[in-house]
């Protein structure tokens, strides 16, 4: 069966791996990206960008200062903007995303938040009077914007943000002010140096009454000189764990006046005479965050895929140690521990991307509903995207770190691309709402579902399984080798655990309430359990999505995807075995069965491991990893990469000449 990556001159071990492929890698790639045409388009973009001198990096960014990296990234951004249509359909979201990844990389660029949040916020929340003026100019990039919500003192708890927007009826303006140091906006991407406008989240005050957080468009810099306008203090917050090429910024506003129409008023409104009309759903103002949380799944699935590609290919190329005496050193991918470290990451990357596809469909349906005046899909989507954002970012972070360690010493080098990848990816656990906080949003929803299920009321999409009758005892290991029924038995067991944990958390909460605690204090006493229930529920959702995609996949790739799904479900069940055992739903014998099946899965997947990661179809540019390169010629590339280090420009470093040599000389003369 064809693995389409084989080329002459490649590392022979990688070629050997590709020859054992049992499926058509292009079929799987096309399935992953929606169609064969989408796959071809991605490849065309890659090819053109790779040959274009505007996007060449003579010195890898690993060896440049932050300022130089920002300059190089800004230069490439300008080229993408001016020449984008030479490479792709600039109106196609996924083509643009791919172009940006190929041309610029993942560490941030001047327009990241402009496209990622500023424009979506205006499009989703502003009304015509404002959008007619600002959106054409924003699309034309006369205006570049950031999404400035988080403050130095508050991010998670939006209700306590301190920046104020006070309505002045006399002039029909809002006065926007930063009353304290902790009220300074702090963290927003591209706010520091690149943006000349921002959507700023402020507490709305009308006639002395605090109404709550709302968004306002504020001009920050002169459109001609790019200097900050009077009354505006803006700058970069300094170096951080990663996202080196993003100017996350600070902002203070000194009683800045903006016209009434600058409030984003598609949902909530303030009339000229100061009458406030609330939105049709209280949290529609938070819509941009739901949008980003949903789309983060795709990015984080791809981040994990990158790490899995690097670790799998490198493990096929590297030979070290022997499994039996008297035979040559083995590829490290033959070690069971290595497979157990890496293969679940491959499966999880597929699971995340497939789950994203389901969420994207739900998101689109919700937006259609809102346009028709219906918000009934929003609570379910908010609850599940809050859980998914948290589980996926955490899962991807752990997975990337496993892949990095699986590459041994070279994984610790920036040459692997993995330290930077981890730094960028792990930020997702924090931004768009810290994970522990967002899981509580899911848990709240589960508590309502428990109550509805007990009362026999209808249950919405993500919690529909709460209405199923549990069989009391798991069928795991009792399906006589029927793989479809085995998968169903594992899904049923996970659903049982999620439901039970939710019911138990609800009972604990109630009990504390009966003991005299307020509802809120009682909640804080059970949040660990609440979040546990939310995580298991979210993992059930992912497992169901993965299962649905596999069972509906084309027959040519279904066998390999079924193997991957088996590994995924066995791994998830073993990882959550304590939840399955706790109430006796599963026995110890059943967990031992799951483990033995998992180890069989590792062996089954071994011949297809490289081909499964090849099917993610990430180019060498996207991987940005000496260890993960498609041709597997790792060692020579590693040496050439290290040669580019600034420390190697001279044989004797000035620092050595200045301090170390005189010290050696002094010591020598003392003898
Ligand atoms: C064309 C070109 C290419 C373009 C590329 C685009 C890329 C896009 C993909 C992006 C990928 C990566 C981008 C990376 C950059 C990201 C940079 C980061 C940005 C940020 O971090 S912005 C700041 C984010 N901040 C937060 O997320 C804050 C988190 N806090 C909150 O959301 C809230 O404070 C809260 C939800 C935790 C609590 O809110 P509160 O008002 O107090 O409400 P509650 O009392 O808890 O709940 C009351 C009820 O409301 C329900 N609720 C809450 N939120 C929502 C919601 N959003 N929607 C619907 N319902 C909601 C809640 O469930 C309660 O319901 P109930 O009363 O129980 O029924
Ligand atoms: C890379 C990056 C990019 C960002 N980009 C933007 C941007 O473009 N625009 C923007 O506005 N913001 C941005 N942010 C800010 C980001 O959205 C916030 O940092 C994030 O929402 C978390 O809020 P916080 O910093 O207030 O954390 P905190 O709430 O202070 O969290 C600290 C700890 O307190 C815990 N905690 C807080 N509240 C609760 C609770 N109710 N229950 C239990 N535990 C709790 C948390 O779990 C965490 O352990 C960015 C941040 C990063 C790291």
Measured between alpha carbons, how far is 14 from 119 in angstroms, rounded to an integer? Answer: 44
Token pair for 390: 């948290």
Burial (Cβ within 10 Å: 0-12, 13-18, ≥19) of residue 525: middle
Measured between alpha carbons, how far is 104 from 74 in angstroms, rounded to an integer? Answer: 9
The structure's pTM equals 0.97
| pLDDT (0 to 100) of residue 478 | 95
The CATH 1.20.140.10 domain(s) of the chain lie at: 283-632
Measured between alpha carbons, how far is 275 from 213 in angstroms, rounded to an integer? Answer: 16
Q: Is the CB of 434 under 6 A from ligand 2?
A: yes
3-state secondary structure at position 277? strand
Query: Whole-number mean pLDDT of the chain?
Result: 97
Measured between alpha carbons, how far is 564 from 546 in angstroms, rounded to an integer? Answer: 10
What is the 3-class SS of 189-253, one letter each residue? Answer: CCCCCCCCEEEEEEEEEECCEEEEEEEEEEECECCCCCCECCCEEEEECCCCCCCCCCCCEEEEE
| pLDDT (0 to 100) of residue 348 | 98
The closest alpha carbon to 601, from 321, 305, 344, 374, belongs to 344
* Ligand nearest to the backbone CA of 441: 1
| pLDDT (0 to 100) of residue 470 | 83
167 in Cβ contact with 176 (< 8 Å)? no
646 in Cβ contact with 63 (< 8 Å)? yes
18 in Cβ contact with 3 (< 8 Å)? yes
Test site for ligand 1: of 286, 438, 506, most ligand atoms within 8 A of the Cβ: 286
For ligand 1, the distance from its centroid to the CA atom of residue 12, given in whole angstroms, is: 49
What is the helix (H) or strand (E) element at residue 13, kind and residue range?
Answer: helix 12-19
State in Å, rounded, how far the first CA of the chain is from the last one.
71
Q: Which residue has the tokens 């994970």?
A: 435
Tell me which long-range contacts 417-421 makes (C-beta under 8 A, separation of at least 24). Answer: 417/306, 417/310, 417/623, 417/624, 417/625, 417/626, 417/627, 417/628, 418/307, 418/310, 418/625, 420/62, 420/106, 420/107, 420/242, 420/624, 421/106, 421/303, 421/306, 421/307
Strand partners, 210: 205
Q: Is the CB of 151 under 6 A from ligand 1?
A: no
Q: Is the CB of 147 under 6 A from ligand 1?
A: yes
Return the ligand 2 atom nearest residue 242 CA.
1
Measured between alpha carbons, how far is 286 from 292 in angstroms, rounded to an integer? Answer: 11
Q: What is the pLDDT of residues 465-488, one digit of tens each?
A: 999 988 889 999 999 889 999 999
Q: Is the CB of 250 under 6 A from ligand 2?
A: no
- Name the CATH superfamily, with its identifier, for domain 283-632: Butyryl-CoA Dehydrogenase, subunit A, domain 3 (1.20.140.10)
189 is in an annotated binding site: yes
| pLDDT (0 to 100) of residue 38 | 98
Residue closest by Cα to atom 23 of ligand 1: 432
Token pair for 99: 């172009």
Q: What is the pLDDT of residues 359-389, one digit of tens each?
A: 999 999 999 999 999 999 999 999 999 999 9
Burial (Cβ within 10 Å: 0-12, 13-18, ≥19) of residue 228: middle
| pLDDT (0 to 100) of residue 481 | 86
For ligand 2, the distance from its centroid to the CA atom of residue 624, given in whole angstroms, is: 29
Return the ligand 2 atom nearest residue 116 CA.
8
Whether complex ipTM tops 0.90? yes
For ligand 2, the distance from its centroid to the CA atom of residue 430, given in whole angstroms, is: 5
Distances (CA, A) of 315 to 417, 513, 588, 634: 15, 54, 33, 11
Q: Is the CB of 618 under 6 A from ligand 2?
A: no
For ligand 2, the distance from its centroid to the CA atom of residue 17, given in whole angstroms, is: 43
The closest alpha carbon to 623, from 392, 311, 318, 402, belongs to 311
Test site for ligand 1: of 201, 290, 298, 441, most ligand atoms within 8 A of the Cβ: 441
Measured between alpha carbons, how far is 587 from 577 in angstroms, rounded to an integer? Answer: 10
Burial (Cβ within 10 Å: 0-12, 13-18, ≥19) of residue 176: buried
Low-confidence ranges of the chain (pLDDT < 70): none
Return the ligand 1 atom nearest residue 147 CA.
22
The closest alpha carbon to 475, from 500, 501, 496, 503, belongs to 496
561 in Cβ contact with 468 (< 8 Å)? no
Positions marked active-site: 432
* Ligand nearest to the backbone CA of 186: 2
Return the ligand 1 atom nearest residue 438 CA.
37
Is 123-277 a domain of CATH 2.40.110.10? yes
Measured between alpha carbons, how far is 634 from 631 in angstroms, rounded to an integer? Answer: 8
150 is in an annotated binding site: yes
* Ligand nearest to the backbone CA of 93: 1
The closest alpha carbon to 443, from 398, 508, 348, belongs to 508
């Amino acid at each position: 069966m064809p693995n389409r990556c084989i080329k002459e001159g490649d590392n022979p071990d990688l070629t050997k791996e590709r020859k054992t492929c049992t499926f058509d890698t292009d079929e799987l790639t096309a399935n992953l990206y929606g169609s064969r045409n989408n796959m071809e388009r991605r490849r065309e973009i890659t090819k053109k960008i790779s040959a274009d001198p505007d996007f060449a990096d003579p010195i890898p960014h690993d060896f440049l200062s932050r300022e130089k990296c920002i300059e190089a990234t800004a230069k490439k951004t300008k080229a993408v903007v001016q020449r984008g249509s030479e490479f792709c359909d600039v109106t196609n979201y996924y083509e643009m995303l791919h172009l940006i990844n190929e041309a610029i990389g993942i560490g941030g660029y001047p327009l990241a938040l402009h496209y990622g949040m500023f424009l979506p916020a205006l499009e989703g929340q502003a009304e015509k009077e404002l959008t007619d003026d600002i959106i054409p100019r924003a699309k034309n990039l006369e205006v570049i914007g950031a999404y400035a919500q988080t403050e130095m003192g508050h991010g998670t708890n939006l209700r306590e943000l301190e920046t104020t927007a006070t309505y002045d009826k006399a002039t029909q303006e809002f006065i926007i002010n930063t009353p304290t140091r902790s009220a300074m906006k702090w963290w927003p991407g591209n706010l520091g140096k690149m943006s000349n406008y921002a959507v700023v989240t402020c507490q709305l005050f009308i006639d002395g009454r605090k109404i709550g957080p709302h968004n306002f468009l504020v001009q920050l810099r002169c459109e001609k000189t790019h200097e900050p306008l009077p009354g505006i203090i803006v700058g970069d917050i300094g170096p951080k764990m990663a996202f080196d090429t993003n100017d996350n910024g600070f902002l203070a506003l000194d009683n800045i006046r903006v016209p009434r129409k600058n409030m984003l008023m598609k949902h909530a409104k303030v009339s000229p005479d100061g009458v406030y009309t609330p939105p049709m759903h209280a949290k529609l103002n938070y819509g941009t965050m739901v949008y980003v949380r949903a789309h983060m799944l795709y990015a984080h699935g791809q981040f994990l895929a990158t790490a899995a590609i690097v670790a799998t290919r490198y493990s096929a190329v590297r030979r070290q140690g022997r499994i039996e005496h008297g035979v040559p050193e083995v590829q490290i991918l033959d070690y069971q521990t290595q497979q157990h470290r890496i293969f679940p990451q491959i499966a999880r990357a597929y699971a995340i991307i497939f789950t994203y596809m389901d969420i994207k469909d739900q998101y689109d349906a919700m937006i259609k509903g809102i346009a028709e005046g219906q918000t009934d899909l929003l609570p379910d989507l908010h609850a599940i995207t809050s859980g998914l954002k948290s589980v996926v970012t955490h899962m991807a972070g752990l997975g990337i770190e496993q892949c990095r360690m699986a590459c041994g010493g070279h994984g610790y080098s920036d040459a692997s691309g993995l330290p930077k990848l981890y730094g960028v990816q792990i930020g997702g656990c924090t931004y768009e709402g810290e994970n522990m906080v967002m899981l509580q949003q899911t848990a709240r929803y589960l508590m309502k579902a428990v109550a509805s299920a007990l009362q026999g009321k209808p249950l919405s999409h993500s919690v529909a399984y709460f209405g199923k009758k549990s069989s009391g005892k798991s069928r795991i290991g009792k399906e006589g080798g029927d793989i479809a029924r085995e998968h169903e038995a594992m899904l049923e067991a996970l659903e049982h655990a999620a439901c039970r944990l939710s019911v138990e958390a609800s009972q604990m909460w109630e009990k504390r309430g009966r003991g005299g605690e307020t509802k809120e204090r009682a909640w804080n006493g059970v949040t660990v359990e609440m979040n546990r229930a939310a995580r298991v529920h979210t993992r059930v959702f992912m497992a169901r999505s993965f299962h649905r995609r596999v069972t509906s996949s084309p027959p040519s790739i279904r066998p390999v995807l079924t193997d991957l799904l088996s590994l995924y479900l066995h791994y998830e069940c073993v990882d959550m075995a304590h939840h399955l055992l706790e109430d006796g739903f599963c026995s110890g014998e059943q967990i031992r069965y799951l483990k033995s099946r998992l180890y069989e899965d590792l062996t089954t997947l071994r011949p297809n491991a490289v081909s499964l990661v090849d099917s993610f179809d990430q180019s060498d540019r996207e991987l940005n990893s000496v260890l993960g390169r498609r041709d597997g010629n790792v060692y020579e590339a590693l040496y050439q990469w290290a040669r580019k280090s600034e420390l190697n420009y001279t044989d004797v470093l000035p620092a050595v000449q200045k301090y170390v040599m005189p010290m050696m000389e002094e010591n020598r003369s003392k003898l």
